A and B are shown apart, each in its own frame.
Chain A
Amino acid sequence: MAGAPLAEQPTGLRAWLLSAEPHSRWQARLGRFYLGWRSFTKNPLAVVGLGVVILLILMAIFADVIAPYSPVAGGDLRTQRLLPPSETFWLGTDDQARDIFSRLVHGSRITLFVVVLVALIATPIGLLVGTVSGYLGGWVDTVLMRVTDIFLAFPRLVLALAFVAALGPGIENAIIAIAITSWPPYARIARAETLMIRNSDFIAAVRLQGASTPRIILGHVVPLCVSSLIVRVTLDMAGIILTAAGLGFLGLGAQPPMPEWGAMVATGRNYLIDQWWVAAMPGLAIFVVSLGFNLLGDGLRDVLDPKAAK
């Protein structure tokens, strides 16, 4: 509210959102969301990160409209191979006379697909293992945490490599492999949160009311672990993108002719010295997107999890 006197009472929608006595659960939730949003937008870098991520999503949705050429079928192999960036081909063309910009735009779908699927597979596993382990304690805790530690003991990319080697190359297998290597940190966080929640009075109250263990874990413990997990998953997304790109670069992720960014860098490697743009552009895209996710994650952490902020 630029220019408004400080003493002025908020009116209209803002007043409704900031009301100290919300009339419904929805109003209270929206109010909390609004407060979070306000503190989030105070961090300009986080807003830039959010912008990059939104741009990525829009690019993925409207890829067919945005991309001027086909991402798979190339142009004239005699005259349009390995052209430098120009007005017709904004980012140049690759060895099969395909427009690199169009391939990047379509590649955003693959990147998003990988990130979303890994998050959807790994987060529930981590959440379940962590909350069960933390809530039940005892030998269940010991066993589950030993298993978690063993998975943490492998460097992520190396374990993913071994899994893809076993399952065979391909984008689906790469996603499974990355998900298998991603859940242990989530389990650790969920367990730590559960240990704090477990002894609170409200859990004791719910237990005395006769709630079963699965009900307590799923209905009362899990929802409280979600916010710190969201922060962690967002911060991890850059790592997921980098791992997927690394697998693609090694030829183990998406298979040709899919326009996966890591695989595109691998193609460009053969023309590095004379046609640098073939390798440079997709790498730049990976860099910008993972930077965006990192900035967004930092901003979310400050809002949702003030304890962890520096």
Chain B
Amino acid sequence: MTEGGGHASALRSFLKKAAQFVIVLMTTLLGLVAVTFFIGRVVPIDPVIAIVGDRAPPQVYERVRTELGLDRPLIEQFVIYVKKAATGDFGNSVLTTNPVMTDIANVFPATLELATLGTLIGVLFGIPLGVLAAVKRGTLIDQFVRVLGLVGYSVPIFWLGLMGLLLFYAKLGWVAGPGRIDVTYSYLYTPVTGIVLLDTAMQGQWDAFWDAVSHVILPACLLGYFSLAYISRMTRSFMLNELAQEYVIAARVKGLSEFRVIWRHALRNAAVPLVTVIALSYANLLEGSVLTETVFAWPGLGQYITNSLQNADMNAVLGGTLVIGAVFVLLNLVSDLLYRLLDPRTR
């Protein structure tokens, strides 16, 4: 078979897999919408009364009910809901009166910034720690990584955040308090990407940039710790797996330096499943951000959802839940695809 033919058939099978992914993605997303639709129907709050008030005359009540489409059969309501959700229309937020999607687009960059920094910290520290733990199995560093992981699985994130604020902000004064940036700096730049660190850096407002850094560092490290706990544990087990393989012995027999064997040969093979783990941990940070953002008054999606919850703003809650669910699903699928792309054995 020629080079080109091999590529073509590989491409075809890849496309076939991709098509399967799209189908799975579509049914899962439809399922997500169905779940939020169902939750929306269980709400004990009558959405009509929420709009017109409980003293409205029956005609007004009926009219609004018809406008909302609540007089139609449930199936028909669901179809309308799906159609609207597909175009990103989740209705208006009662709290801000904006369309929910506009609100979410405004707050999402803040969550993205936090989760990305957290994952970066987790990868930068978690992978070397995991590799060291596997190489020096049973030693102090291995125990240290184990404890780090156990604590990470057991500690309430909101409490650790509060204790971090207490220590590093209130007692030591090393970092800035809750929020994204001090009010005095917030007028020095114009939001373009919505990611404060990028905006201030691109506009050369370095004072504002450093203020933003001192605000973001604590919540990012907090999320980074949870990501690190997970990534280091997985890295350790993947590396133990690789170090037991014959090619490692062969590399050692060849006389390669231990450094090369571990960091170039073994880690390279462990990197394939690690991609999945990193994507998963990124998705988990989206969840962790709900509580973290509440603790640090970080104006992201998590805080938006909890604020809306406390004000019984169901459109906003369900829209936010759906967006987080969709991102979660997408990240999972992307990690799956990457795995297939990177690992020649799965082709």
The residue of chain A having its C-beta at the shortest distance from the C-beta of B321 within the complex is A162
Known: A156-B287, A158-B305, A165-B317. A294 touches B154 (CB 8 A): yes
- Take A154-B328, A157-B291 as given contacts and tell me if A162 and B39 are in contact as well, using a CB distance cutoff of 8 Å: yes
A74 contacts chain B at the CB level, 8 A cutoff = no
Residues of A within 8 A of B237 (CB): 310
**Residues A287 and B325 in contact in the complex (CB < 8 Å), given A165-B314, A273-B170:** no
| A147 touching B31, Cβ below 8 Å | yes
Contacting A at CB under 8 A, from B136-180, are: 150-151, 153-160, 162-163, 165-166, 170
Given the interface pairs A153-B332, A159-B321, the reply to whether A249 lies near B287 with Cβ below 8 Å is no
Tell me, yes or no, whether B205 is within 8 Å of chain A by CB: no
In whole angstroms, what is the CA distance A156 to B312 when docked?
20
Using known A-B contacts A154-B328, A155-B287, determine if residue A287 contacts B156 with beta carbons closer than 8 Å.
yes
Contact yes or no, B325 A262, CB < 8 A: no
User: What 0/1 readout, one digit per residue, does chain A (247-291) give for beta carbons within 8 Å of chain B?
Assistant: 001111000000000100100110011001001100110110011
| Alpha-carbon separation in the docked complex, A153 to B33 (Å) | 12
A79 to B1, CA, bound (A): 89
Q: Complex Cα distance A49/B306, Å?
A: 33
Please measure, in the bound complex, the distance between the C-alpha atom of A151 and the C-alpha atom of B306, giving whole angstroms. 21
B318 nearest CB neighbor, chain A only: A162
Q: Give the complex CA separation of A149 and B25 in angstroms.
A: 11
Determine chain A's interface SS by DSSP, over half rule: helix
A287 proximity list for chain B (CB < 8 A): 151, 154-156, 159
B-side interface size class: 35 or more
- Cross-chain contact of B158 among A238, A246, A290, A294 (Cβ < 8 A): A246
Evaluate contact between B309 and A252: CB separation under 8 angstroms: yes
* Interface window among B40-48, B64-72, B120-128, B191-199: B40-48
Q: Min CB distance, A264 to chain B, in Å?
A: 10
CA distance A286 to B306 in the complex (A): 22
- The residue on B at minimum CB distance from A249 is B158
A161 located at the interface, meaning its Cβ lies under 8 Å from any Cβ of chain B in the complex: yes
CB-CB nearest in chain B for A157: B287
Q: Is A166 an interface residue (CB 8 A)?
A: yes
Partner of A158, one of B163, B166, B294, B324: B324
Q: Nearest chain A CB to B132's CB is how many angstroms away?
A: 17
Known interface pairs A167-B42, A265-B156. Does A153 touch B325 (Cβ–Cβ under 8 Å)? yes
Least distance between A162 CB and chain B CB atoms (Å) = 4
Q: Is B221 an interface residue (CB 8 A)?
A: no
Q: B290 an interface residue at 8 Å Cβ cutoff?
A: yes
- Chain B residues in 8 Å Cβ range of A151: 35
A32 and B42 CA atoms in complex are apart in Å by: 48
Q: Is A2 an interface residue (CB 8 A)?
A: no
| Chain A residues proximal to chain B, CB less than 8 Å | 146-147, 149-151, 153-159, 161-168, 238, 242, 245-246, 249-252, 262, 265, 268-269, 272-273, 276, 279-280, 283-284, 286-287, 290-291, 294-295, 310
11 contacts between A and B (CB under 8 A): A150-B31, A154-B35, A155-B325, A161-B317, A162-B39, A165-B317, A238-B153, A249-B294, A250-B291, A272-B170, A294-B150
**19 additional contacts (CB under 8 A) given A162-B318, A246-B291, A286-B159:** A146-B28, A146-B31, A149-B28, A150-B28, A150-B34, A153-B28, A154-B325, A155-B284, A155-B325, A156-B287, A157-B287, A162-B317, A166-B44, A246-B157, A249-B156, A269-B162, A272-B166, A273-B170, A310-B237
